[in-house]
Structure 1
Amino acid sequence: MNSPPRKRKATSASSINSDISHSEDPASVTIDVAAVEVPELTEQEQSDRLLLERKVERAFFEAGKALAELRDRRLYRSTHGTFEEYCRDRFGQSRRQSYYLMEAAVIFDNLVEKCERNVHILPTNEWQVRPLTKLDPDIQPEAWQQVVESAKGKVPSHRIVKDVVQKIMERTQVPNTYQLGEVCQILVKDNPELRGMGGCWAIVSHVGEFSCTVKTWNGEVTVGVQHLKSCEYLPSECEQVGALCDRISQIYSDSLEETVKNLLQSLGKLNRPYLTAVEEKLLSLIEGEYGIIDEIPRNS
C-alpha cells in the first residue's frame, strides 16, 4: 500500500534562515514535515462515489436513449420539420452524431443484458462502442468480453475495441459474391445509418472486399454484405429496376412535397422489378409536373 501523502510543516523563511545561520553546518539543518492523515471514505461516501461514477459512465447511454425517444415520438414537430434539423439547432450536432449516440445506447443495452456477470466494465463513451456497430448483436457481447480481457481490467480504449472487432470480422467475414448491377434488398440490422431504408431495393454500383456501394431511390450508400440480400432477379429485371432508379433519382430532392416523397419512397420499396399501370401513370404525372424530360425507356 502506498504511504499516505505528507505535507511540509509551515515554517517562516526568517525562522529557517535563523536556524541555518546559527548552525555550524547549514547542510545539516533538518526541517520537520508534518504528516497529513487522509480519512477513509465512509460507507455513504463510497455509495455516493459509485453512484456518480455510474452516471458519468452512462451519460452517453442516457443521451442516446433520450434522442431515440425524441425521434420516435416526434417531439420536435412543433418547431422543426425533421429530426435532423432539430438536433442541429437544439444540440449543435449532426445527423450522424445523433444516430451514433442512439446506436451506442442500443449496443450498451445489449451488453448489459447479455454479457457474463463477471464482466463489470462497460463502455463509458460512444467512441468506445462505435467499432462494435460492425458486428451482429449476438456477437457484440462476446466481443466486449474479449475487449475487457485485452484491456487487463482497465477501461478499454477505442483502439483496443477496434482491434478485437477487426480480428472477429476477419475470422467470420463471408466473401463478397455480389455483382455490378445486381439488385438487392437492404437489411437494417440495428444500423442507424440505414434507418428508414429497410426493405428498399438497391443496385450494386461498386463491389468491395466485404462491402458494396449501392444506388437506391434517393442516393448512394456503402454497406457491409451482411446488410444486403439478393433479390435473385434476372439480368433483364435488374435493368428494369435500374431504369426505375434513374427516373426516381431525377425527381427526388429534399424540397419535394411530403406526398410526392411518400410515393417515391413506396416505389423504392417495391418487391418486384416492374410498375403496375397505375404506378406508371402516377410516376409519369410527377415527372411531367416537375418538368423531367423522359429519355429513359419505360418499364413494360
Structure 2
Amino acid sequence: MNKPPSRRKKVIPVASGELKPATDSAPENTSGQDNPASATITVTAVEVTELTEEEQSLRLQLERQVERAFLSAGQALMELRDRRLYRSTHRTFEEYCRERFNYSRDAAYLKISATVVYENLQKFLPTIGRQIPMPTNERQLRFLAKAELEPAVQADVWRQAVEQAGNKIPSGRIVKDVVDRIRERTKVPNPYHVGEICILLPKDNPDLRGKAGYWGVVSHVGEYICTFQAWDGDCTVKIEHLKLLELLDEDCQFMQQLCVRLRQLHQVASRDSSVDWLLQGLGKQAKPYLSSLQAKLLATVEREYKIEWRQQK
C-alpha cells in the first residue's frame, strides 16, 4: 500500500529576520505587519552646518593651492633651467629632470610651456563682467602650448573653450577642437623659399634646445614647416621658429657655400674637439663674410683633414 506523501512544513519570513516553521493549524499571516516588503524604514536626518567665514576662506585658499600646483611646478622648473641650478650634479637639464623628478623631457617642458600659457591667460583674459575659470592642470593646456599662438589668441582660445564646456573648465579635447578651428581660419601661407638663409628661434621647443642663434639654409618648404640645414645637421621646424635674413643674392650664395664647408668638417669623425669650437662659432655668426683670421683658420683645418674646397660661382 502506497504511503501518502507527508506534508512539509512551510517556512515564511518574519520581521525579526529569523526563519520560523509554520504549523498546519496556524493560518498564514498575510498582513503587512509581518511583510518585509512593507516594513517601515526610519531615516535619521543629518543637519548640514554652514561653513563659517573663516572655514570658507580656508577652503578657497586650499582649492586654489590644488589648482595652482602645476603652475608652481612649472615656474620652479623654468627657474631651475634658466639659471642652470642643476649644473653641479648633472650635465643637462633633461638628465636632471629624469633623475631627480622622474620626468621625461617632454613632461618637463610641457609643464614649463603650460606655465607660460597660464601666465598669458592671466594677462589677456577679460576680467570685467564675469570671472572665467582658469586651468587646473597642464593637460588642459597641452594643445594650446604646442600650437604656439600669440598670447592674445591663446586667451581667446581658452575663453571659447570655457563657453563650449558650459562655462566650466574645459577638457584638453575641447581646447584642441578650438585650437584646430582657429588655426584653420587663420591659415597663413609659408613665406619662406628654398635657398634662403634663416636664424633659428627655439622659443620653448625642446627639440631646438641649445640651437638659439644658429643660422642655416632652407632646403625644403612645406605648408607650415621648413627643412633647415645647419652646420651640425638638418631639422624640420615650424615657420614660427625661423627668422629670415635679408641678404643680397651674392651674400646668400656665400652663406650657402659656407654652410656646405662647415657640414663637411662636422662629418669628419676623427676631428679634434677644437674643431667643434670653430664650427659652433661660425655656425652662430650670421654674417655673409669671414674675417681674415677666420678664413685662414677654416682653410687650415680643411687642409688638415684633406678637405678640398673650390668656391662655386
Which range, TM-score by smaller chain?
A: 0.7 to 0.9
Residue 270 of structure 1 is matched in structure 2 by 285
Could you tell me how far 1:87 is from its partner in structure 2? Answer: 1.6
Is 1:99 aligned with 2:106? no
CA–CA distance in structure 2, aligned partners of residues 200 and 20 of structure 1: 92
TM-score, with length taken from structure 2: 0.76
- Asked if structure 2 preserves the Cα contact closer than 8 Å seen for 1:217 and 1:249, the reply is yes
Q: How many aligned residue pairs are there? A: 285
The 10-residue stretch of structure 1 (275-284 or 64-73) with the greater mean CA deviation from structure 2: 275-284
- Asked if structure 1 preserves the Cα contact closer than 8 Å seen for 2:109 and 2:204, the reply is no
The equivalent position to 2:223 in structure 1, one of 209, 221, 225, is 209
Is 1:24 aligned with 2:31? yes
Is 1:149 aligned with 2:180? no
CA–CA distance in structure 2, aligned partners of residues 288 and 48 of structure 1: 73
- Asked if structure 2 preserves the Cα contact closer than 8 Å seen for 1:64 and 1:102, the reply is yes
- Asked if structure 2 preserves the Cα contact closer than 8 Å seen for 1:65 and 1:105, the reply is yes
Give the residue type in structure 2 aligned to 1:160.
Answer: I
What are the Cα deviations for residues 159-192 of structure 1, in whole angstroms up to 9, with x where unaligned?
A: 2112222222222232013222322223345656
SS of 1:17's equivalent?
Answer: coil
**RMSD between superposed Cα atoms in Å:** 3.4
- Identical positions, percent: 50
Q: Can you give the 5+ residue segments of structure 1 that lack an aligned partner in the other structure?
A: 1-12
Residue 48 of structure 2 is matched in structure 1 by 38
Q: Can you give the 5+ residue segments of structure 2 that lack an aligned partner in the other structure?
A: 1-12, 22-28
User: Aligned in 2, Cα 1:36/1:43: closer, same or farther, shift over 3 Å?
Assistant: same
- Asked if structure 2 preserves the Cα contact closer than 8 Å seen for 1:64 and 1:104, the reply is yes
The 10-residue stretch of structure 1 (181-190 or 59-68) with the greater mean CA deviation from structure 2: 181-190
CA–CA distance in structure 1, aligned partners of residues 59 and 299 of structure 2: 65
Q: How does 1:220-259 map to 2 (within 5 A)?
A: 220-234=234-248, 237-250=251-264
Is 1:121 aligned with 2:128? no
- Asked if structure 1 preserves the Cα contact closer than 8 Å seen for 2:160 and 2:178, the reply is yes
CA–CA distance in structure 2, aligned partners of residues 126 and 56 of structure 1: 13
SS of 2:17's equivalent?
Answer: helix
- Asked if structure 2 preserves the Cα contact closer than 8 Å seen for 1:99 and 1:193, the reply is no
Residue 4 of structure 2 is matched in structure 1 by none
Give the residue type in structure 1 aligned to 2:160.
Answer: Q
SS of 2:51's equivalent?
Answer: coil
What are the Cα deviations for residues 182-211 of structure 1, in whole angstroms up to 9, with x where unaligned?
A: 222233456565454343313223322122
Residue 140 of structure 1 is matched in structure 2 by 154
SS of 1:96's equivalent?
Answer: helix
Mark the structure with the bigger radius of gyration. 2
Q: How does 1:51-130 map to 2 (within 5 A)?
A: 51-117=61-127, 118-130=130-142
Give the residue type in structure 2 aligned to 1:85.
Answer: E
CA–CA distance in structure 2, aligned partners of residues 16 and 261 of structure 1: 90
- Asked if structure 2 preserves the Cα contact closer than 8 Å seen for 1:187 and 1:227, the reply is yes
Residue 25 of structure 2 is matched in structure 1 by none
Could you tell me how far 1:239 is from its partner in structure 2? Answer: 4.4
SS of 1:33's equivalent?
Answer: coil
Give the residue type in structure 2 aligned to 1:123.
Answer: P
Residue 176 of structure 1 is matched in structure 2 by 190
